[in-house]
Amino acid sequence: MKKYSQLAFVLGILLLCTFCQPEESAQTLRIAISKATPNTSYENYINWLKNIDSTIVIEEMYHLSLDSAELVFAQCDGLLLTGGTDIYPGLYGKEADTARCWEPDFKRDSLELMLIGLAIEKQIPILGICRGHQMLNTYFGGSLIIDIPEDFDTLVKHRIDDGYDCFHMVGIEEGSLLQEVSGEKTGRVNSAHHQGIDQLAENLVPVAFSEDGLIEAVAYKNRESKPFLLGVQWHPERLDVDNPLSGKIGKYFIEQVRQEKTYIHHE
C-alpha cells in the first residue's frame, strides 16, 4: 500500500509540474543524481553542479522506489552517478569475492543499472564518478578489481586509511573525449577508492590512466551519434573548481545536457 501511495504522490507532483510551470521551465535543466544524501560528502555533488549553474534542478533517485524513480527520471535531462560503497561483485562474475567488498548496496545497484538503461534509451548525457565510473563499466559488461593493493599493484596509492583523499597524476589519452573536455595531457587528481576497472567493457575506451596503468576514465569507444558519456575514477566535486579535471568536466557535462535538451525540445 505504501508503494502505491508513493507512486500516486509522485504522479500528482508531475502533473502539477506539467500544468503549473511557467514557459521558461522548458529551459530548466533537471539532472538526476543516483544518490545525493544523507551524508555531508554527498552534498558536494549538488554544490559542485549548482556552483556551475544555480538554476539546475536536482532530482535524487535513491530514496524513491524503482517505479517512482522511473517516473521522475522521465522528466530529467541528464544523469550523474555518484560515488559510494562497492558494487555487488556477482554483477560482474566475481560473486565468490563478495566477502572482500565493502557494504554492497543491492537496492542501489538495481537502481543505477535501471537509470543507465533509461538514460541510454532517452539519449541523454551520463557522468559517472568513482563508483559511478565503475558502474558504467559493469553495466556494459566489464569487471572490477576487487582490491587494488592486493590484486593489482601498490605503485600508486589510490586510497588512504586515515584521511579524506590522496592525490596522484593521471595521463590523458591524446585526442580523447577527456582531452577535448579538459584541454590537458596530464593532471593531478584526488583518489579515494580500493576498487577499479579490471576487464574493460567492449564498447568503452580508456581515456586516462594512472602511473600504475589503472584505468582512471572511460568514454564510448564510438562516440558518433551518441550523447556525452564519461566515467572518472576521481572526485571532481571535491577538487578545486580551477582544476581542469574538475570545473571543466562539470561545465562540459552541463553544456551537453543543455544541448541535448534543446535538440530534443526542438526536434
**How far is the C-alpha of 195 from the C-alpha of 197, rounded, in Å?**
7
Whether residue 13 is contained in a domain is answered as: no
DSSP codes, 2-59: HHHHHHHHHHHHHHHHHHHS-GGGGG--EEEES---SSHHHHHHHHHHHHH-TTPEEE
63 lies in which domain range? 29-266
Whether residue 248 is contained in a domain is answered as: yes
Model pLDDT, residue 78? 98
Confidence of residue 1 (pLDDT cuts 50, 70, 90): low
- C-alpha cell read off for 244: 581542469
Whether residue 175 is contained in a domain is answered as: yes
Q: How deeply is 127 buried, as exposed, middle or buried, from its count of CB atoms within 10 A (0-12, 13-18, 19+)?
A: buried
pLDDT digits (tens, 9 = 90+) for 183-232: 999 999 999 999 999 999 999 999 999 999 999 999 999 999 999 999 99
217, 206 in Cβ contact below 8 A?
yes
Whether residue 83 is contained in a domain is answered as: yes
pLDDT for 16 beyond 90: no
Whether residue 227 is contained in a domain is answered as: yes
Whether residue 18 is contained in a domain is answered as: no
pLDDT digits (tens, 9 = 90+) for 148-161: 999 999 999 999 98
Q: What residues are annotated to the active site?
A: 130, 235, 237
pLDDT digits (tens, 9 = 90+) for 27-57: 899 999 999 887 777 899 999 999 999 999 9
Count of structural domains within the chain: 1
Average pLDDT, integer, range 100-108: 95
Average pLDDT, integer, range 64-93: 98
Whether residue 21 is contained in a domain is answered as: no
74: domain CATH number? 3.40.50.880
pTM for this model (two decimals): 0.89
Model pLDDT, residue 172? 98
249, 210 in Cβ contact below 8 A?
no
Whether residue 19 is contained in a domain is answered as: no
